[in-house]
Structure 1
Amino acid sequence: MRGPRLKFPLALLALISGPVSQVVAQQQLTLKALPAEPPPAESSAKKELKATWRTDKEARTLMLNVPAPRGQIVDRNGVPLAQTRVVQYLALSFPFLGEKAADREILEFAHTRLRKVNAALGKAWTMPDDRLLSHYKNRRWLPLVFTYQDNILEEVNGDQQLRLFDLLRPGSGVVLQAAYMRYYPKGACAPHIIGYTGRVRQLPTGPIQDGDPLFEEIEGRSGLEKTFDKDLQGRPGVTSVLFNPDGSKDAEEVQRRPMPGNNVVTSLDFNFQKYVENALAKHTRSGAMVIMDVKTGDVLAMGSFPMYDPNLFCPGITDVNYARLKMDKREPLFARAYQSTLPPASTFKIIVSQAALETGEITPRTAYYSGTSLWIGNQEFRNWSKEPEGSINVVTAIKRSTNTWFYQAALQIGAQPITDMAQRFGFGEKTGIPLEGEPTGFVPTDAWMMQKYGHRMQGGDIANLSIGQGRTLVTPLQVAQSMCGIADGNVMPQARLVKQVQDPQDRVLQPFPVTVRRRIALDPAARETVVKGMIAVVNASGGTGRNAQLDSKINIQVAGKTGTAQWVADNPRTDENDERQLAWFTGFLPANDPMYAFAVVYEGAPGETVGGGRIAAPIVSEVFENVYNNAPPDDPLVLLAHSKDAPKAIAISDEDEQTDGEASRPDGVDVPRQEFQPPPPPQQERRTVGGFFRKLFGRE
């Protein structure tokens, strides 16, 4: 099976196909990273590389490892997100200065050339004297790279090489040393997913050993770079180099060609990812957004803001830049989209609604009087609105996000159906994406409460649970995954971040097929009612998420749910551990034929008042308007919007918001104190033989 055809950078192709033309100075090792295929049979006429002398210790044969070019990480369409490129460094090439060369003579040779290079380029590169002497005595056959700044290698670009034309002549003692370096061509795009690399170790400094690397090797340190490090690494090559007694290179032979690493094809869509990141940068101080394909579970975009440029880590990051990233109070290195655990706020009301309707104790027309607050015992639980909502049903309660309705519904059915439904949607479990640091989140249960506190969840606990507050913690990725389940109704797909690993010839080595995470089999009638409520949130008068509506010219209806949570940031590196607010918006579209599920969260600053409908919902409309307006004509979303056979938008009529009557408060007038009245206990059934048989045969 073949995967999408990927393109290598031209500079890398030139390097793989033969010697680097610039690396031709005397005593310099030519880097030969040849095509990833078996080497041809050795010709008998080829000169055998061996030392035919045994009396001069300067002449020797070296067997050196040539690190392989690291494989690419690309989006679903082959757009490169991580590549390898060829760079050039400056190095000292010591001649043999005689068996009795004084330290002063060795250091003068090195310092003279360093001064000339620095004068030509306006640099201040230097090398400790003990390092210069050690290299001459132990490793003078190999170039000594000296272009370090803050212990990080600096490459020499083409203009700088031209300015050093005279200094780079053969025998001058200064040469160019080619190497591979990781490169992120899209800059700060999906850095928390792609990750970054770092050097495995510094180059050896003692006597040369067979197998020493020709230049620094790198390894994955975070993200997919780390998870798929073995796939990306490739296989190093081996080159044999023969030096004459005077220290000059006599011949070089490739014993084994480097094998380029494999390529990782992600599920990401670069365009979706950039739309998400641009919207987060425009609208948030810090936050995240996830977009998933409802049918496949593919993560099409997963943005965390603020971001960082992973090129800062290539070939290594300076202490100053790393300190700047670590000390930033907004934590740009933190992958909020899949690592942050936050209270889901009112987005959790979708789970509560589905659970309540499936119990049968709550129907689409069940009415609760919903005032500005509800007293449970001696504790007051407030609604977000300062005006009473009156007697309303579940569709209106979702549309208006009415806390007091959900308090009463949750107390009516108890905690167990809610926590069971939450676990059915994957809350409290990792989604299983191949990235380190994904938490499970947390959903409190009666069993957990019994173990920790010795009692089941009580009234206040259930009230908090019903509005996504209290101990419940979720990640934005989990919320988006749950929306896939609501959108489909029957199954919830496994979240997929990587589609396949393929070799440099585009052959698929390891596929990651689309799989079903869980069959959730939602009650269709209950789901239909919940979806009507979500459509009303965005499209009906009084809905809390009307800012998520797409442009009227786009015939696509959004179903969603707003949420605003109280939250205490757990960040020991800042002094911002006071209470803050979160703004959520989640859902799917098109509402009548779901394709994409999403979740957005905005982290408010200390003291900032936020709202899901005001801050998070506009991010959704901006992102998906960009998706639609920039999509090709044959894009499925565009085709669906213009199709004559497309399902019509679902209208929310007055009938959908009808109830079974006023709920214990005449004329919809609020009262100063509304107390929860628990439902009457069920009547005890007479335990008779006749009753047993009626149950057995269904004759109730």
Structure 2
Amino acid sequence: MKSDRQEQQLKFTRRALMMGAGGAFSFAALGARLHQLQVVETERYRLLSEDNQFNFLLTPPSRGRILDRFGVPVADNRDSYRVVMIPEQAGDVEAALDRLGQIIEITPAQRERILTNIRRSVSFRPVTIRDDLDWRSFAAINLHSPDLPGIIPEVVEVRNYPNGTAFAHILGYVQPAPESEAGNDPLLRHPGFRVGRTGVERAREDTLRGERGSLKVEVNAFGRVIRELPDQSIPATPGEDVSLTIDADVQRFAHERLEGESAAAVAMDVENGDLLALVSTPGFDPNAFVTGISQADFNALNQNQYRPLYNKALQGTYPPASTFKAVVALAALDAGIVRPSDRFTCTGSIPFGDREFHCWRRQGHGRVNLRDAVKTSCDVYFYEIAQRLGIERIAEAARRFGLGSAPDIGLAGVSRGIVPDPQWKLSRYGQPWTQGETLITAIGQGFMLTSPLQMALMTARLASGRSVSPRLYRDQPIDRGEPLSVNADNLALVRDGLRAVVHEPGGTSHYSLGGLGIPGVEMAGKTGTAQVYSISTEEREAGVRTQDELPWRLRDHGMFVCYAPADRPRYAVATVVEHGGGGSRAAARPARDILRLLIERDPAAAGPFVSMDSGREPT
């Protein structure tokens, strides 16, 4: 028994010695390693530790707001949930997307986009996985964040357009900066940063953008943020607000009034040039472009025959048709080639050369003077005075009233239109001018093209008698312009004819409008019908008689220009309805309704005139 006990004790002693030796060796190795890390390589790891412990994160600035004339935001920012990936922290990107795909949906198309962006970017730069997540998805990602290295959920600001389609063509939209512009700029490459691509957003990009900042953060070995150190950070500088002359209520109303049509409307203060509405319908929702519009939705917009992406108010060009006759009448009076009492007989057409030039009223207007011709829009009268006036004086008058040049309102893409003359035709077509072209130019047809903005400007100058210029931004100087070099009595006569268009029997819009609808306030206006397609004899024989029987794209454009009050002009409106048929039928009522709203919102316009210089709040 004693021998067995001694043998057991001996075995225990040997094991203890072996374990002790092993432990001593392990502690010695650990100590040596600690000595190497803490003493031999202390400087190296001190630097690495400092680099890894603190990072500076770029903080994009808040984008400035865009406000209407009364300070109402028409473009601002809202909070949005999104998730990004930092590839170098995620490790296996495909596996990381698989893990994330178990929490939120990632479609094959989205996955391909993400992988493409990762391949194009450096590994330390965040790449957007999904924008505008709902709260449930965002919370789920945060809950599983320990199992999602390199996946970072964020709360960010995104652009918001509260009026949707109504302001789309004025404001434009924001999107990520294209590669050609982004370069190596870390702000432009930041996944949450957007730049203006069209409209005011692009035109005032420098004002709206702001300056980037940096946020110092403490991170762990995996790159996860432990805490923020705002006292050692540089705050971003928000962008500045931009104030427009647009009245948001009028803009929305005009858009709703033209909804369903391919159309444009421009409303303008005739005294100071403020643009109160710039409408193009149909519109598009700029919010869809902020987080990325789908190719299918973009194709639907691009292929729509009403061209919702096209700003008709500024870029669309149309023959001004009979809206131009007031300018020609005034030019004829000022040139002394016709007197107010002179009359011409309209039988429905006039022979000229080997052609017959027709009046819109086939049976003719009988004997008419200048006022009657403006009121009834008699083509034959204007054919007669065109022969005496000549194309050079017609063209000069058109330019005096703002046609043929692009008004500088601080937006890109504003059309110049065309005011034709012999030099223009020779340069454009290499052909001489013909007298027949003078006749059709005098009624606003032929080569002449104008935008709705130019039509509104023409009307504002007729109403004010000054070379007023339009403005879109409140920080732009007001340009009331100099008095036009026209005879005041002649201008008053033409204005009286424009008032008769609306308020007297026989006026081209008398029966469709009957007036403004505000007691004691009269309006003045002029209809226009721009021919798109001439119904042939064969088609007439086949039964095609009216515009409604033609395909939509072949119907005439309808237009109307007007101002009020007729005796103390303050506001001017121009509307164009593409392929809407006659101006009195399609365009007059929307223009009248917009003008009426402007007067109702400004009771002073119906009473004694009050200058903007008086300190009255802008309207």
Give yes or no for contact 2:572–2:595 (8 Å, CA) kept in 1.
no
- Corresponding residue for residue 347 of structure 1: 323
**Superposition pairs of residues 19-98 of structure 1, within 5 angstroms:** 53-54=46-47, 59=52, 61-91=54-84
- Corresponding residue for residue 561 of structure 2: 586
SS of the residue 1:316 aligns to: coil
Choose which of 418, 439, 443 in structure 2 pairs with 1:463: 439
Give the Cα–Cα distance (whole angstroms) in 2 for the partners of residues 353 and 328 of structure 1. Answer: 39
- Corresponding residue for residue 654 of structure 1: none
- 1:383 equivalent to 2:375? Answer no
Choose which of 536, 548, 554 in structure 1 pairs with 2:519: 554
SS of the residue 1:86 aligns to: strand
Give the Cα–Cα distance (whole angstroms) in 2 for the partners of residues 464 and 211 of structure 1. Answer: 55
Give the Cα–Cα distance (whole angstroms) in 2 for the partners of residues 560 and 473 of structure 1. Answer: 20
Deviations 1:373-408 (A, max 9, x none): 000011000001122211110111111100011100
- Aligned partner letter, 1:270: A
> How far did residue 95 of structure 1 move?
11
Give the Cα–Cα distance (whole angstroms) in 2 for the partners of residues 495 and 129 of structure 1. Answer: 44
- Aligned partner letter, 2:484: I
> How far did residue 250 of structure 1 move?
4.5
> How far did residue 280 of structure 1 move?
0.8
> How far did residue 371 of structure 1 move?
1.2
> How far did residue 447 of structure 1 move?
3.5
> How far did residue 342 of structure 1 move?
0.9
Choose which of 583, 588, 599 in structure 2 pairs with 1:617: 588
- 1:430 equivalent to 2:409? Answer no
Choose which of 148, 166, 185 in structure 1 pairs with 2:162: 185
- Aligned partner letter, 1:63: F
**Superposition pairs of residues 327-342 of structure 1, within 5 angstroms:** 327-342=303-318
> How far did residue 181 of structure 1 move?
1.1
**Superposition pairs of residues 253-264 of structure 1, within 5 angstroms:** 253-254=229-230, 255-264=233-242
Give the Cα–Cα distance (whole angstroms) in 1 for the partners of residues 188 and 408 of structure 2. Answer: 38
Greater per-residue helix proportion = 2
Give the Cα–Cα distance (whole angstroms) in 2 for the partners of residues 210 and 184 of structure 1. Answer: 26
- Corresponding residue for residue 5 of structure 1: none
Give the Cα–Cα distance (whole angstroms) in 2 for the partners of residues 155 and 370 of structure 1. Answer: 66
- TM-score normalised per structure 1: 0.71
Choose which of 636, 658, 667 in structure 1 pairs with 2:604: 636
Give the Cα–Cα distance (whole angstroms) in 2 for the partners of residues 495 and 75 of structure 1. Answer: 16
Give the Cα–Cα distance (whole angstroms) in 2 for the partners of residues 210 and 302 of structure 1. Answer: 36
- Aligned partner letter, 2:74: L
Give yes or no for contact 1:197–1:314 (8 Å, CA) kept in 2.
yes
Give yes or no for contact 2:395–2:421 (8 Å, CA) kept in 1.
yes
- 1:481 equivalent to 2:481? Answer no
- Aligned partner letter, 2:99: R
> How far did residue 134 of structure 1 move?
7.4
- TM-score normalised per structure 2: 0.80
> How far did residue 77 of structure 1 move?
0.6
Give the Cα–Cα distance (whole angstroms) in 2 for the partners of residues 177 and 235 of structure 1. Answer: 20
Q: Give the direction of change, closer, same or farther, for the CA distance of 1:395–1:125 in structure 2 (3 Å limit).
A: closer
- 1:323 equivalent to 2:316? Answer no
- Aligned partner letter, 1:114: L
- 1:278 equivalent to 2:242? Answer no
Deviations 1:609-636 (A, max 9, x none): x11112111112222334455x3xx642
SS of the residue 2:361 aligns to: coil
SS of the residue 1:493 aligns to: coil
**Relative contact order higher in (CA < 8 Å, ≥ 6 apart):** 1
Q: Give the direction of change, closer, same or farther, for the CA distance of 1:372–1:241 in structure 2 (3 Å limit).
A: same
- Corresponding residue for residue 34 of structure 1: none
Deviates more, 1:412-421 or 1:221-230: 412-421
Deviates more, 1:447-456 or 1:593-602: 447-456
- Corresponding residue for residue 246 of structure 2: 268
Give the Cα–Cα distance (whole angstroms) in 2 for the partners of residues 530 and 625 of structure 1. Answer: 22
> How far did residue 51 of structure 1 move?
10
Give yes or no for contact 1:443–1:473 (8 Å, CA) kept in 2.
yes
> How far did residue 548 of structure 1 move?
3.4
Give yes or no for contact 1:583–1:611 (8 Å, CA) kept in 2.
yes
Give the Cα–Cα distance (whole angstroms) in 2 for the partners of residues 146 and 227 of structure 1. Answer: 30
- Aligned partner letter, 1:82: A
- 1:600 equivalent to 2:575? Answer yes
**Superposition pairs of residues 123-134 of structure 1, within 5 angstroms:** 127=111, 131=115
Give the Cα–Cα distance (whole angstroms) in 1 for the partners of residues 431 and 112 of structure 2. Answer: 68
Provide the identity percentage: 29
Deviations 1:402-435 (A, max 9, x none): 0011100111222222211111112111111111
Give yes or no for contact 1:295–1:595 (8 Å, CA) kept in 2.
yes
Give yes or no for contact 2:59–2:214 (8 Å, CA) kept in 1.
yes
Give the Cα–Cα distance (whole angstroms) in 2 for the partners of residues 251 and 336 of structure 1. Answer: 52
- Corresponding residue for residue 478 of structure 2: 514
Give the Cα–Cα distance (whole angstroms) in 1 for the partners of residues 87 and 312 of structure 2. Answer: 51
- Corresponding residue for residue 531 of structure 2: 566
Deviates more, 1:451-460 or 1:471-480: 451-460
> How far did residue 449 of structure 1 move?
4.5
Give the Cα–Cα distance (whole angstroms) in 2 for the partners of residues 260 and 190 of structure 1. Answer: 23
Q: How many residues align?
A: 547
Q: Give the direction of change, closer, same or farther, for the CA distance of 1:562–1:93 in structure 2 (3 Å limit).
A: closer
Give yes or no for contact 2:563–2:573 (8 Å, CA) kept in 1.
yes
- 1:394 equivalent to 2:370? Answer yes
Give the Cα–Cα distance (whole angstroms) in 1 for the partners of residues 315 and 172 of structure 2. Answer: 14
Give the Cα–Cα distance (whole angstroms) in 1 for the partners of residues 440 and 50 of structure 2. Answer: 80
SS of the residue 2:397 aligns to: helix
- Aligned partner letter, 1:525: D
- Corresponding residue for residue 613 of structure 2: none
Deviations 1:546-582 (A, max 9, x none): 223445453221101111111379xxxxxx9974411
Give the Cα–Cα distance (whole angstroms) in 1 for the partners of residues 336 and 382 of structure 2. Answer: 15
Give yes or no for contact 2:118–2:127 (8 Å, CA) kept in 1.
no
Deviations 1:259-305 (A, max 9, x none): 000111011001111121111115xx211111100000011001111
- 1:526 equivalent to 2:490? Answer yes
Give yes or no for contact 1:201–1:217 (8 Å, CA) kept in 2.
no
- Aligned partner letter, 1:183: N
Give the Cα–Cα distance (whole angstroms) in 2 for the partners of residues 539 and 59 of structure 1. Answer: 80
> How far did residue 54 of structure 1 move?
3.7
Q: Give the direction of change, closer, same or farther, for the CA distance of 1:526–1:251 in structure 2 (3 Å limit).
A: same
Q: Give the direction of change, closer, same or farther, for the CA distance of 1:56–1:144 in structure 2 (3 Å limit).
A: farther
Give yes or no for contact 1:95–1:248 (8 Å, CA) kept in 2.
no
Give the Cα–Cα distance (whole angstroms) in 1 for the partners of residues 353 and 112 of structure 2. Answer: 75
Q: Give the direction of change, closer, same or farther, for the CA distance of 1:241–1:555 in structure 2 (3 Å limit).
A: same
- Corresponding residue for residue 414 of structure 1: 390
Choose which of 127, 132, 138 in structure 2 pairs with 1:155: 132
- Corresponding residue for residue 274 of structure 2: 298
SS of the residue 2:221 aligns to: coil
SS of the residue 1:331 aligns to: coil
Give yes or no for contact 1:306–1:331 (8 Å, CA) kept in 2.
yes
